[in-house]
Amino acid sequence: MIQMLEFLPNRMRAALRHLNLHKLYEIRLRAGKPVAINYGGRYRYLGECGATDKASAALTATLAEIGDIVFSAGKFSVYSVEEQIRRGFLTAECGERIGLAGQYVFEKGKPLAMRDFTSLCIRVPHEIEGCGDEIYKSCLKDKLRSILVMSPPGIGKTTILRDLGRSLSRETGKNILVCDERGEISAGDTGATSDVLLFADKATAFEAGIRAMRPDVMITDELSAADCAAVERAIYGGVKVIASAHFAEMEEVRPPFFGLFERYALLDSEEIGRLKGIYDGNGKELRR
Least-confidence region, from 75-89, 177-191, 257-271: 75-89
pLDDT at 56: 96
CATH number of 10-123: 3.30.450.90
Distance CA 147, CA 133 (A): 14
Q: Please state, rounded to an integer, the average pLDDT across all residues of the chain.
A: 92
Model pTM score? 0.84
% of the chain exceeding 70 in pLDDT? 97
**Tens digit of each residue's pLDDT (9 = 90 or more) over 246-284:** 999 999 999 999 999 999 999 998 888 899 999 999 999
Using CA atoms, how far residue 221 sits from 129, 133, 186, 245, in Å, is: 18, 18, 11, 7
pLDDT at 79 over 70: no
pLDDT at 77 over 80: no
Pick from 123, 108, 111: which is nearest to 84 by CA? 111
- Where are any strands of DSSP class E within 67-109? 89-91, 97-107
pLDDT band at 288 (very low <50, low <70, confident <90, very high): low
**pLDDT, average across residues 73-92:** 82
SS3 label, residue 11: helix
In CATH terms, 133-287 corresponds, of 3.60.21.10, 3.40.309.10, 3.40.50.300, 3.40.50.12160, to: 3.40.50.300
pLDDT at 1 over 50: no
**pLDDT, average across residues 135-154:** 95
**pLDDT, average across residues 157-169:** 96
Could you state, in order of their start, the residue ranges of all structural domains in the chain? 10-123, 133-287
**pLDDT, average across residues 121-140:** 92
HSE-CB at 178 with a 13 A cutoff on CA atoms is 26
**Tens digit of each residue's pLDDT (9 = 90 or more) over 216-233:** 999 999 999 999 999 999
**pLDDT, average across residues 117-142:** 93
**Tens digit of each residue's pLDDT (9 = 90 or more) over 8-51:** 999 999 999 999 999 999 999 999 999 999 998 899 999 999 99
Distance CA 55, CA 169 (A): 45
pLDDT at 234: 96
